[in-house]
Amino acid sequence: MFTHTPVDHIDFNGCRVFVKRDDLLHKDFSGNKARKFAYFLHNDFPGVSRLVGYGSPVANSLHSMSALAILKGWQLDFYTDHIAAQVLVSSKGNYAAAIENGANVIDLSLVADRDGRSCKEYIEQVVLPNDATALYVPEGGRCLYARDGVHQLAKEIVSWFETRQLNELTVFLPSGTGTTAVFLNEYFVLNKDSIKVTTCACVGDEDYLKQQFSELISDTSFHPKIVSTDKKYHFGKLYKAFYDIWRKVGEQGIEFELLYDPKGWMCVEQYLLDNPDTEILYIHQGGLLGNATMLPRYQRKYAAV
Ligand SMILES: *Cc1c(COP(=O)(O)O)cnc(C)c1O
């Protein structure tokens, strides 16, 4: 269940780029978070009745955790620093879909016993000690549990690679916490060294991403290659260059998301200029629900251009 997505290809600047369609994993439980949370789906957790997490109220992980909670028959308690007014009233996007799934999203700025704690501290100091039925997932699924589902993704890529009889392959995906990229590359280093992972940092800079890799796997020989753009881009901000490349790629018939994929495709563009003869498999990590809130912002900002 929730595995074996197809591989398509698109024409990008005259080059063929393969696309692993993890956006098609499942209607409600798809993409990157579904891979990272697969361990929770496929294992039993006796005594657990509550899933606890935290992060942005517009994050893909909120929606994916709400879908996981439904599949497991759990309640989801999701802690967040603040919920913006326009997020609260919107009927679209990750927050609205999670609420529809029955998620309990807690705005910590309204909680009386917060005492200046971060979401993580609040969960660790206040929530978990009082609740033996809670299962806690760190922000964005950045944990060793994610290895299981990501290695499954790696196995699918290896079997596709062998069927296509390719000699070498670069697997490209944009990173947030880097969890997906580092566990993917770990699998290939151990099992298939003709496949290599290249990624870029979307949240924070390259040093931050390396640090994130190291927290999960200290041996740097397992770490993926990181490429970067000339210009710095801040996560969650709108850039005309992002909107342009998003539309260009979208014209090839596959819709990508607007937070990570624009920078991802900009890096692929540069990578193909530097390495014109490489075969690239881009991982579509889902997240399309977020476009319902991101796209109107882009359309308003760049309506005239
Ligand atoms: C969460 C997410 C990422 C980042 O994944 P990491 O494993 O944290 O690097 C990338 N793309 C999409 C669509 C996501 O939802």
Among 261, 256, 181, residue whose Cα is nearest residue 226: 181
Give the model confidence (pLDDT) of 33-92 as tens digits.
999 999 999 999 999 999 999 999 999 999 999 999 999 999 999 999 999 999 999 999
- In a domain, residue 237? The reply is yes
Ligand 1, atom 2, residue with closest C-alpha:
32
The DSSP code sequence of 266-301 is HHHHHHHHHSTT--EEEEE---GGGHHHHHHHHHHH
**Strands of 104-107's sheet in order across:** 104-107, 75-80, 50-54, 134-136
The verdict on 204 and 55 lying in the same domain is no
CA–CA dist 233, 202 (Å, integer)? 8
Domain boundary residue, one of 136, 155, 182 = 136
Among 274, 287, 248, residue whose Cα is nearest residue 10: 248
The verdict on 193 and 110 lying in the same domain is no
Please give the average per-residue pLDDT across 20-42, as a whole number: 93
The verdict on 23 and 148 lying in the same domain is yes
The verdict on 173 and 279 lying in the same domain is yes
| Residue 175, H or E segment | strand 169-175
Please give the average per-residue pLDDT across 205-219, as a whole number: 97
**Å from CA of 56 to ligand 1 middle:** 13
CA–CA dist 176, 261 (Å, integer)? 11
With beta carbons less than 8 A apart as the criterion, state whether 134 and 48 touch. yes
- In a domain, residue 113? The reply is yes
CA–CA dist 286, 263 (Å, integer)? 15
The verdict on 153 and 275 lying in the same domain is yes
The verdict on 160 and 225 lying in the same domain is yes
**Strands of 7-12's sheet in order across:** 7-12, 15-21, 280-284, 169-175, 195-201, 225-226
The verdict on 164 and 19 lying in the same domain is yes
- In a domain, residue 24? The reply is yes
**Å from CA of 204 to ligand 1 middle:** 13
Residue 20 maps to which CATH number? Answer: 3.40.50.1100
Residue 253 has a pLDDT of: 95
The verdict on 82 and 64 lying in the same domain is yes
Domain count of the fold of the chain: 2
Please give the average per-residue pLDDT across 225-238, as a whole number: 96
Q: Which of 24, 37, 60 most suits a substitution to test ligand 1, by most atoms within 8 Å of the C-beta?
A: 60
The verdict on 25 and 42 lying in the same domain is no
- Write out the residue range of the structural domain in which residue 25 sits: 7-29+144-301
Q: Which of 21, 29, 32 most suits a substitution to test ligand 1, by most atoms within 8 Å of the C-beta?
A: 32
Single-letter residue type at 34: A
Residue 304 has a pLDDT of: 57
Q: What are the C-alpha distances in Å from 264 to residues 67, 79, 233, 234, 285? A: 26, 29, 12, 14, 11
Residue 305 has a pLDDT of: 52
**Å from CA of 17 to ligand 1 middle:** 20
Residues with CB under 6 Å of ligand 1 are 31-33, 60, 140, 174-181, 257, 260, 285-287
- In a domain, residue 1? The reply is no
What is the pLDDT confidence band of residue 168, given thresholds at 50, 70 and 90?
A: very high
Q: Which of 24, 199, 260, 267 most suits a substitution to test ligand 1, by most atoms within 8 Å of the C-beta?
A: 260
**Å from CA of 292 to ligand 1 middle:** 17
Domain boundary residue, one of 112, 136, 160 = 136
Mean pLDDT (the chain) is 96
The verdict on 53 and 116 lying in the same domain is yes
The verdict on 114 and 180 lying in the same domain is no
Give the model confidence (pLDDT) of 124-147 as tens digits.
999 999 999 999 999 888 888 999
Residue 2 has a pLDDT of: 81
The verdict on 115 and 160 lying in the same domain is no
- In a domain, residue 122? The reply is yes
Q: Which two tokens stand for residue 213?
A: 């890799």
Decide: pTM greater than 0.75. yes
